[in-house]
Amino acid sequence: MRRALAFALAFWAALVGFIAIDWQRSAAHNRFDEPPPWQLGQDKVEGSGHCAEPLK
């Protein structure tokens, strides 16, 4: 049980660390250029990234 808990804690610590490092290294996010809350009814966005997306 303790081993399983240690695995879970290590995983979540690594994940939060990964997100934090990525945030630090990424281009600054422009909060005044955020998309609307949902895509329905908005202009189509190309290249938003999906595993089924063909290689064009």
Which residues here bind other proteins, judged by CB under 8 A? 1, 3-5, 7-9, 11-12, 15, 18-19, 21-23, 25-27, 29, 31, 34-56
| Closest C-alpha among 45, 30, 27 to residue 53 | 45
Instruction: Give the DSSP H or E segment for 55.
Output: none
Helix (H) or strand (E) holding 53, with range, is none
Give the nearest distance from C-beta 42 to other proteins in angstroms.
6
